[in-house]
């Protein structure tokens, strides 16, 4: 099992390191084809990639934040992430045919 953390944002990566999640691979972009059954993928993925992760029998934990509209588009620090309630929430995502 590989534990992945996916984010292109330095503050999110620093936050994940600080939380001690036991991440094996930090990546800015994830190719879902690299994910194996039983892997754990944490972070921020486009919904179609999150669905691909779930189809591969891996778990997806989304980095959720409650960001005010005026803060969108800014790089956030570890303190900012904490202030905005950073947390990992598990989602199972399936595309509807």
Q: Above 90 in pLDDT, residue 65?
A: yes
Query: Could you tell me the sign of the dihedral formed by the alpha carbons of 5, 6, 12, 13, in that order?
Result: positive
- Report percent pLDDT > 90 for the chain: 98
Q: Above 90 in pLDDT, residue 97?
A: no
Residue 16 C-alpha from the chain's centroid? 9
pLDDT band for position 52 (cuts 50, 70, 90): very high
Average pLDDT over residues 20-48: 97
pLDDT, position 4? 98
Contact in structure between 56 and 36 (CB atoms under 8 Å): yes
Q: Above 90 in pLDDT, residue 28?
A: yes
Query: Could you tell me the sign of the dihedral formed by the alpha carbons of 48, 24, 88, 67, in that order?
Result: negative
> Domains of the chain: which residue ranges?
3-91
């Amino acid at each position: 099992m590989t534990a992945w953390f996916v984010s292109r944002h330095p503050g999110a990566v620093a936050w994940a390191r600080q939380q001690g999640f036991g991440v094996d691979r930090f990546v800015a972009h994830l190719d879902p084809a690299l994910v194996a059954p039983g892997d754990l993928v944490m972070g921020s993925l486009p919904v179609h990639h999150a669905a691909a992760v779930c189809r591969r029998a891996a778990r997806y934990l989304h980095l959720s934040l409650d960001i005010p509209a005026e803060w969108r588009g800014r790089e956030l620090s570890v303190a900012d992430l904490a202030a905005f309630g950073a947390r990992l929430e598990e989602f199972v995502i399936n595309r509807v045919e």
